[in-house]
Structure 1
Amino acid sequence: MRIARALVRHELRLFASLLLWVTGRTDGTRDGRPFGYARGQGAMMWGLAFVCVVETVGMGVLLRGWPVVHAVVLVLDVYTVLQVIGMHAAWVTRPHILDSTDLRVRHGGQVDLRIPLADIAAVRRELRATHVRAEGELNLPVGAQTDITLELATPVPHFTFLGRERRLRLVRLHADDSAELVRALTQARTAPAPHPGRPG
């Protein structure tokens, strides 16, 4: 039952992302500064969508003598195409967001992790193309690469796709402009706190 609920939530996020993408909007970007990460995988996703469309047309030709089977396969094929486009839409419309207190790290409709700036011990640019799963680490590659590493002073809770809690001490992610995100994140972490009684 838990797996079914997780799958339904994920599908709803994908279709909500499609709606946001079609209407030219993004999710949560009014709360802070957005940093995209979808550029490195856009071409691959569009290529995959094209292959799915070609497969849909081909199956339509092969199954034209079996109208019931053709209808079922057509529905499944169209749904698959929408899923692929929805995944890309989720990456585009759900960017990382940096505000004065948190970095909101996202990865399409699967990951939405808030990391308090006060809990970040170090941030650096680090290009990695190989990621080995390890306890306390979260890797969010795009195009099989991450280029930013966050070391956390305090473990940050993260819930997996199926709802299992993990305590993270290191997060690796990708950003289209990794240098600017590292610069902005470093500046936000070292900015003085507003003085009580003064605006700001």
Structure 2
Amino acid sequence: MPPYSEDGEPPFLREWIEADESLHVLAYSCISMLAASHHLYLKTFEKLLHFHLDDSLKPKFKKSWLSGYRAYFAHHLGIRFEDCPANLEVLEEVVLARNRVQHPESIAGHRTPYSSSDLGKLAYPFFVNERERDLLADVDEAESAWFMPPTIHVSAEKLATAIEQVEKFGDWLENEIDSRVYGQ
């Protein structure tokens, strides 16, 4: 559209919107792959360690696979995820964001919002842009019902932080397993 157009829209708005939407799709794909990789990492240890997933642990997996593996490693090896130097809240939110992105509640729109139950679990959602974070800061605890919940916004910086936390967790877990299983 030429810059002298009289339609009122800024030049290249349509192209900017398309590029922005493409970045969100890419970011959602990245967070989904990160969660899947983390899940496969833990499943691989389950197979390598040959510890049976007994029925008492299965309810923990219904909550989330991360809470299931938290119970699994505590039960079989005495490894407490709470002792990990990684930010477990970010790891939990990676799983939550993946689930929201892969299983949206609506076909309308390209952005995936947090659900009300998600916001009940999260004191301060990690994958929120600064504008929405400022809006969250202004909300009282009594105003827990959201007219429009914030969207999941995976920026390059937040994705890098999430990857860093998953790597930190992996390094820690491998050291814990080595010391408990192999005595190293």
> Which is strand-richer, 1 or 2?
1
More helix by percentage: 2
